[in-house]
């Protein structure tokens, strides 16, 4: 089933002319609990993994106490995205599949799981791995995503409030104070960057923005976000899909707000950045939480 994000309640650029020309398209992934197949785009689902390729593990998971010895932890699947579903991804030449796994314990410096990215060509996978390792007993349950199917949707968005110059933010807050909407609409929660797990577009920064560079000094672009929550108590009014709004009016539905049942710090997000100048498309991460 496709999911549809409601339109913005205002013409945002008409209210704030500084935003003219700054809208971007993001792909909201809309993860929802399900039973994805190995050939499906999914969150927390099975991966299309070659049988002759070793399953990756983290050799030193407990980075904040390196003196202790630990067995390597097998990585756990987080995202699998195929070009047919999300062609906006900057696939390296000869690839059409993006896979994200992570080590399911905290790692410095962000005290979130450490992600690993694989770009591959689906048809070249050959014989597939049928049984993948079970999560290690030392895994943090908050970092073990529940299997979810995806419903990619393209949505226009504007920069997150924290990405705007301080003077502009102050003017936005003044406007919200002096022109209050009867329905409580605000820029940060309703008119700016889409929250939740998504591909491309603007980063929905929880804190101050961070500029990320690859090892060769190139500025990197937002690849995707893995979020603890698809929305919070404020942003749900704008970002809950039309098809599901009747559910929120009746009762709380954790499977809609936290579909993959993950928690990155205090309802945080993991932002992955990609270098578009390097042909192998290296990826780096930034983690933030409230």
Predicted confidence band at 64 (pLDDT cuts at 50, 70, 90)?
Answer: very low
Look at residue 290 in the predicted model and tell me its pLDDT: 84
* Residues 108-127, mean pLDDT to the nearest whole number: 94
| Backbone φ and ψ of 275, nearest 5° | -90, 120
Given a cut of 60, is residue 69 above it in pLDDT?
no
Report percent pLDDT > 70 for the chain: 94
CB atoms within 10 A of CB 194: 27
Lowest mean pLDDT segment, chosen from 60-64, 193-197, 221-225, 281-285: 60-64
Predicted confidence band at 247 (pLDDT cuts at 50, 70, 90)?
Answer: confident
* Residues 52-56, mean pLDDT to the nearest whole number: 96
Structure tokens at 12: 């945002």
Contact 203, 193 (CB under 8 A): yes
* Residues 102-107, mean pLDDT to the nearest whole number: 94
What are the residue boundaries of the structural domains of the chain, listed by start?
A: 12-29+152-288, 33-149
Given a cut of 70, is residue 68 above it in pLDDT?
no
* Residues 87-99, mean pLDDT to the nearest whole number: 97
The pairs formed by 106-110 with CB atoms below 8 angstroms and a separation of 24 or more are 106/63, 106/64, 106/140, 107/61, 107/63, 108/63, 108/64, 110/270, 110/285, 110/286, 110/287, 110/288
Predicted confidence band at 250 (pLDDT cuts at 50, 70, 90)?
Answer: low
Given a cut of 60, is residue 13 above it in pLDDT?
yes
Task: Check residues 73 and 255 and name the one with the higher pLDDT.
Answer: 73
Closest CA to 214 of 157, 170, 171, 275: 275
Given a cut of 90, is residue 16 above it in pLDDT?
yes
Mean pLDDT for the chain overall: 92
Give the pLDDT confidence of 162-221 residue by residue, as tens digits.
999 999 999 999 988 888 777 889 999 999 999 999 999 999 999 999 999 999 999 999
Query: How far is it, in rounded angstroms, from Cα 225 to Cα 227?
Result: 6
* Residues 2-6, mean pLDDT to the nearest whole number: 95
């Amino acid at each position: 089933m496709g999911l549809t994000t409601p339109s913005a309640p205002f013409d945002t650029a008409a209210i704030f002319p500084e935003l003219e020309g700054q809208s971007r398209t993001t792909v909201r992934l809309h993860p929802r609990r399900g039973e994805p197949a190995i050939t499906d785009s999914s969150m927390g689902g099975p991966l299309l993994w070659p049988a002759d390729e070793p399953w990756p593990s983290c050799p030193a998971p407990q980075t904040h106490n390196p003196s202790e010895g630990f067995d390597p932890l097998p990585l756990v699947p987080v995202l699998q995205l195929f070009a047919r579903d999300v062609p906006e991804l900057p696939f390296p030449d000869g690839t059409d599949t993006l896979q994200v796994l992570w080590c399911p314990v905290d790692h410095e410096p962000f005290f979130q799981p450490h992600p690993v990215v694989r770009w591959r060509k689906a048809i070249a996978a050959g014989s597939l791995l049928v049984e993948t390792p079970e999560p290690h007993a030392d895994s943090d349950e908050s970092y073990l995503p529940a299997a979810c199917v995806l419903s990619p949707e393209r949505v226009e968005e504007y920069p997150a409030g924290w990405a705007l110059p301080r003077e502009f933010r102050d003017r936005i807050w003044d406007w919200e104070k002096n022109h209050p909407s009867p329905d409580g609409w605000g820029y940060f929660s309703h008119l700016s960057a889409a929250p939740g797990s998504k591909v491309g577009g603007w980063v929905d920064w929880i804190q101050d923005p961070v500029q990320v560079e690859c090892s060769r000094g190139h500025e990197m672009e937002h690849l995707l976000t893995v979020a603890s929550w698809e929305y919070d108590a404020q942003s749900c009014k704008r970002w809950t899909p039309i098809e599901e709004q009747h559910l929120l009016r009746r009762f709380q539905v954790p499977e809609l707000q936290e579909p993959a049942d993950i928690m990155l710090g205090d309802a945080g997000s993991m932002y992955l950045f990609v270098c578009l100048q390097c042909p192998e498309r290296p990826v780096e991460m930034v983690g933030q939480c409230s």
